[in-house]
Every structure is written in structure tokens, then in C-alpha cells.
Structure 1
Amino acid sequence: MKTVEILQYTLRQGSGAAFHAIMQQVSVPLHQRHGIDVVRFGNSLHDPDSYCLIRAFDSPESMTAKLEAFYISDAWRSGPREAIVDSIEISLKTVMVLSAESVEGLRQM
């Protein structure tokens, strides 16, 4: 079983393409360097200014520890943080437990 965090963002109008570029080129690789499993990320099919980021962790405790280390890191704080945070108008978070098979299914979509 995996602890899965789903982040849904409503972005500032017209910022979806630039947001995706910074996620793809900077933020997701930074997540991966911190040992965070990014399962899926990208713009919504219904609106290019809606975005989803799905991350998986071994446990709730692992999620807390990895995210704390990520968000206090100099690489995040002096890197993509400002551009990402400035693009987000609304952020929603859901955390759930899914089987490893379900996580892999999301990854393969």
C-alpha cells in the first residue's frame, strides 16, 4: 500500500504552459533528487490553467519527512518555489491510501 497525495491547482489565467514547463524541467527533477515519487503531473484536459500533481510515498510518516526536507531545501527555496507559488490561485490537496498496482496504473495512463 502507498500513501498518495493528489494536488490540484487552479493557476492564474494563461500561465498553464509556463507552469508545466517549470514543473517538467525543474520541479519534478528536484522532487526526484529528494526521493519523492512523482507518479503523474500535467495540465487538465478540461482547462490548460488547471493542473494536477500526484506523489506517492511508503507511509504517511515518509510523506511528512520527505516533504519537510524538500520544502526547506535551498534548492527549492532559491529555485522554482517563487515561480510556482506565484502561478497558483487555488490549491487543493487529497491524501489517500492506494495499492501499489493502482499507483502503477496511474503512472501508466
Structure 2
Amino acid sequence: MTNPWAGEVVVHLDGAPHVCKLTLGSLAELEDGLEEGSLVDLVQRFECGKFRARDVLALVLAGLRGGGWSGNAEDLRTVEISGGPAEAARAAAQMLARAFSQPESRI
């Protein structure tokens, strides 16, 4: 079970649930790995619906790492995310929203 008040989102990899959370450390890793722009640029791409598959993959990976998962990008490329790309994008957007909102406004 996830705690949205703590910014958590669940993602199912090969059918197994994993808690994702964008921590400061995982956000720093994410920012280092962005091919262009900053975290603000990434948030804007999601807000405008102009995100790319690599943005979704990077966010899901950062969230998984923040939740304690020890895998890497190559591991993530070889698993099935339940719900496919649409669910991965939804989870990524939800992680961003929860990471940058006040606790009382999270759902």
C-alpha cells in the first residue's frame, strides 16, 4: 500500500507492486541524467503533454530508486509495466505532482 501524503505511487513491474517516490536524492540523479534542460523543463513538458518516452522512463526509474528499488535503466527496459506506457506516464506525472505539491493538496 502506498502513502500519497508521503508522495508515494505504486508501479507494478512484471506483476509485482513497487513503491515509487521522488526523493531529493532520486531527483538529483534524475536531473543528472536528463539529456536536456532542468527539472523545471521536465515538469513543463508533462504539464503541456510534450513529454517523451525517455522522460517517462527516467521518472519511473527515479521513483523506483527513491522507493528503494536497486535496479537500473536496463533492468527497467526489460520488465513489463502493468498498464503499459499509458500507466507508466500516469505514474510518472503523479510522482511529479506529489513531489512538488504541499502535503495538504496531495490526492
What TM-score do the two structures reach when normalised by structure 1?
0.28
Which has more helix, going by share of residues? 2
More strand by share: 1
Q: TM-score, normalised by structure 2?
A: 0.29
